[in-house]
Each structure stands twice: as C-alpha cells, then as structure tokens.
C-alpha cells in the first residue's frame, strides 16, 4: 500500500468514526450486547466449578463474531442506502483506499468492543488479570481478520437486495478460518499455556489476514466500479 | 475552442440491455451542455462513464487529452460531480463535509470560503447537513463539487425534487461558472436549458438530436 493510499484510507476511516460517534446508538448497542452476553454466560455457568477453557474461549469468540456482523454489515450498505457511495467513487484515489478506510474503521470499532469484552470477562467470568495481554493479542489479531474479511464481504454484497441478511449468513462460512484457530488459541491462553504454544494458531490467523489483503487488493476495484 | 471531453463509440451493456449504443460526443472548454431524454435513455449512465465511476463496455473516453479510464485518478481531479442524491454526510457539518472531500484534492483553506460563497451558503457552514433543507443541501453539494476548481462539472438530474424558487436560484449559480465545462442531465428541459448553450437529446442509448441553443 502506497503512502498516499494509506493517508487517504486514514481520512476515510476518520470520517466514518466521526459519523459513528455522532450517532453512537449503534456502537453503544453492540457494546451492550457484548456485556449482556458475558453476564448471561456468567449466570448460566455459576454452578460449574471448573469450566473448560475451550468453552469460555468459544463463548468469547461467539460474542466477537456477532459484534463483527453488527459492525461490518453496515459499512458499505449504509453508503449505498444514503447515496454517498457515488461520492466515494468520485474521490481521486485508488479504490483500495476506500476499502482500506472501511477496514481501519472496522478494526478500531471492533477493538473497542474487544476491550469491553475482555474487561467484562474479567469481572463476570472471574478470569485472572494476568491473562489480559495474551487475550488482547489473540482477539486483536482475530478482530483485524474479521474487519478485513467483513469489509470485503460487505463490499461484495453491497449491490445485492437483502445485503444485510446475506452478509449475516455468508459471514459464518468465511469466518471458520478465523474461529477455529482463534478458539484454540484462546483456550490455550485461558489454560495458562506459554506464548510459544500459540504460534501455530497465530501463524494461521496471519496467513488468513494476508490472503484477505491480497484478494482485496486484486478484486476490489472490479467490485467498486460499476 | 479546446476540447475537454471526447467520447468515441462508447457503449454500455447491462446483461442483454444495451444502455448506450455507440455515443460520439465532444465538449469544449466552458461549454454547457444539457443531456435530455426520457427515463432509461442512458443519460445517467453516460455521466457515470464520463465521471469514470462506470467502465464502458467498449469505446473510449478522453479527458483533457488523456484516456480517462486508464488514468482514473488524474481524470477525477478534473471532474466535479453533483448526483441526484447528495454525497454529503448528514452527521457532518457543511464545512466538515467540504473538508473531507477537499482533503483528496489538496484544497487550501481559502478555497472553502470561495466555494461556499459561490452558492451563498456561508451562513450554514457550521450546520449539520442532515438539518438542511433539500435546496440548501443541493447548494452545499455544488460547493463540494467545485472544490479544487475542476474543469468539468457533471450534474445528474440537477433539478429533481427542487421547488421552482430554488431551481431558479441554482440556475443563477450555474451562470456564475464561466470557466467550467458543464454537462447536465434532466428530463425537464426548460430550466436546464436556461444556462446551457447546447442540448443533446438521447433516446434508447443513441444520440437522437443535437441543438445549439445560443
């Protein structure tokens, strides 16, 4: 990505964040969903003395997965619905800058959700504070993967009727390469395994990230221009 | 007169539907052209192709002597577009919207004052565009399209949804733009032809008639 493309992408992401923060009900409802999911899990697990780390990890990833759908379904759909997509098309920059802007916006929003997820898990699932760095690392890589893949999916589906519904359905199969290593890595962190034990999963998550970036750079221009 | 835009045998197909069937047209500096025709004639498709937002099925578009679809970024720097739907974000003020779009064409601060002045919208610069009336929003959109002083202004269904008073006011702003080559679509010729000096009638993806108005 050239310096110009990155700087344009940052401008686009900044615009999206300002727009989102001026109508914060969506972001707040996603954070409320995150908190309530963890609290409900806490209620239902209160009688179980030793919980399998895989179960906790899976529950946390399910929350991130649904939060990603809520954040990313709207990223291009809203531009189409309000007619501003033609404004984005008229910008004198590489089309990929527009996608990269949406990706950066998605990443920042998901990281905000992630922070609320991890801190609510510490409180309501009685996780140890020493797990925070490991969980933050693995969930942040996963959230970046979701943001990249979800933004691209949102772009692919932006012209279809019922795009929001389609994205929700199609998001699951393409998320499997994130969810499987992510859940495993989360479980290893919760079980107290050393950092090096996470390397196979981290490699898989990074490989997926590179694959999505490569596909986006190649295909987005064809999708974006009518 | 120097040629600013030239279309050569431009066609556009959407599946089996032929939206444009070989358009040859050229536009000179400062020339104001109305593209008229019924719904589905291909006017908006033609504008999108000139704006490099849509790729033609065949044919070429030359902007300032360059192949527009080979040099899209350069071509877009020379084009301002006002769509029939606003490109402005409701949650941002008029000035914030202009700054967002202006950042992509390296606009310097006094330029914002200039474009706001052209459409008499300085008074509303700090109001969120979501709170503006349709007519004011349209004026803000024209200001946005004028950022960076583009040589070409493309206006799609320019008077759609506007009342008579606002439409007349907007034609006055158009008269002020002597430098720009304007290409405007409409299916109501009366207003649009009041500031255009040439009219092109498109029907079924073909040019049916070309009339010099003044």
What tens digit of pLDDT does each residue of B152-189 get? 999 998 887 777 877 888 888 888 788 889 999 987 78
| Average pLDDT for A137-159 | 91
Percent of chain B with pLDDT over 90: 55
pLDDT at A224 over 90: no
Say whether A226 and B87 touch across the interface (CB within 8 A).
Answer: no
List the single range of A43-47, B16-20, B69-73 with lowest mean pLDDT.
A43-47
pLDDT of residue A167: 82
- C-alpha closest to that of A216 among A114, A55, A97: A97
pLDDT of residue A25: 86
pLDDT of residue A76: 87
B136 vs A7: CA distance, rounded Å: 31
pLDDT averaged over every residue in chain B: 90
pLDDT of residue B158: 81
Q: Among the residues of chain B, which ranges form H helices?
A: 43-50, 72-77, 94-102, 109-118, 134-145, 164-176, 189-192
| Average pLDDT for A154-173 | 84
Say whether B92 and A18 touch across the interface (CB within 8 A).
Answer: yes
**Among candidates A11, A19, A86 on the partner chain, residue whose Cβ is nearest the Cβ of B92:** A19
B35 vs B17: CA distance, rounded Å: 20
Cβ-based contacts of A89 with chain B (< 8 Å)? 51, 53
Cβ-based contacts of A17 with chain B (< 8 Å)? none
| Average pLDDT for A109-116 | 92
> Which residue is it, tokens 């002045």?
B117
| Average pLDDT for A80-96 | 91
Cβ-based contacts of A92 with chain B (< 8 Å)? 72-74, 76-77, 104-105
pLDDT averaged over every residue in chain A: 89
Say whether A92 and B74 touch across the interface (CB within 8 A).
Answer: yes
B132 vs B6: CA distance, rounded Å: 37
Say whether A226 and B103 touch across the interface (CB within 8 A).
Answer: no
A25 touches B at CB < 8 Å: no
The distance between the two most distant Cα atoms of chain A, rounded to a whole number of Å, is 59
CB A146 within 8 A of CB A175: yes
At B200, give phi and psi (nearest 5°): -120, 125
Percent of chain A with pLDDT over 90: 58
């Amino acid at each position: 990505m050239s310096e110009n493309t990155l700087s344009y992408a940052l401008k686009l992401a900044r615009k999206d964040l300002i727009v989102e923060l001026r109508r914060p009900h969506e972001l707040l409802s996603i954070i409320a969903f995150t908190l309530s999911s963890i609290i409900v899990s806490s209620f239902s697990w209160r009688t179980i003395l030793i919980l399998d780390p895989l179960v906790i990890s899976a529950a946390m990833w399910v929350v991130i997965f649904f939060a990603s759908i809520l954040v990313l379904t709207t990223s291009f759909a809203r531009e189409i619905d309000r007619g501003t997509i033609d404004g984005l098309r008229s910008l004198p920059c590489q089309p990929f800058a527009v996608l990269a802007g949406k990706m950066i916006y998605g990443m920042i929003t998901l990281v905000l959700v992630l922070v609320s997820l991890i801190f609510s898990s510490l409180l309501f699932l009685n996780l140890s504070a020493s797990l925070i760095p490991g969980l933050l690392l693995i969930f942040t890589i996963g959230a970046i993967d979701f943001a990249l893949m979800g933004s691209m999916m949102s772009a692919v589906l932006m012209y279809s009727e019922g795009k929001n519904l389609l994205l929700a359905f199609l998001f699951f199969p393409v998320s499997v390469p994130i969810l499987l290593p992510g859940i495993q890595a989360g479980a290893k962190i919760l079980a107290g395994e050393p950092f090096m034990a996470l390397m196979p999963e981290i490699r898989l998550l990074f490989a997926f990230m590179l694959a999505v970036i490569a596909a986006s750079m190649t295909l987005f221009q064809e999708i974006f221009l009518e | 007169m120097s040629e600013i835009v030239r279309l050569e045998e431009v066609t556009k197909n959407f599946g089996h539907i032929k939206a444009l069937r070989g358009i040859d047209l050229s536009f000179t500096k400062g020339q104001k052209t109305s593209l008229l025709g019924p719904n589905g004639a291909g006017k908006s498709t033609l504008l999108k192709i000139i704006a490099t937002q849509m790729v033609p099925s065949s044919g070429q578009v030359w902007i300032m002597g360059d192949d527009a679809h080979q040099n899209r970024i350069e071509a877009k720097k020379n084009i301002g577009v006002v769509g029939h739907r606003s490109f402005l974000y409701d949650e941002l003020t008029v000035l914030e919207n202009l700054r967002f779009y202006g950042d992509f064409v390296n606009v310097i601060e006094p330029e914002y004052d200039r474009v706001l002045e052209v459409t008499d919208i300085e008074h509303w610069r700090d109001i969120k565009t979501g709170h503006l009336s349709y007519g004011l929003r349209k004026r803000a959109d024209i200001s946005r399209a004028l950022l960076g002083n583009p040589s070409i202004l493309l206006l799609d269904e320019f008077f759609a949804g506007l009342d008579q008073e606002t439409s007349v006011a907007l034609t006055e702003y158009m008269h002020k733009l002597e430098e720009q080559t304007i290409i405007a679509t409409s299916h109501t010729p009366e207003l649009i032809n009041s500031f255009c000096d040439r009219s092109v009638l498109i029907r079924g993806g073909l040019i049916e008639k070309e009339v010099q108005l003044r």
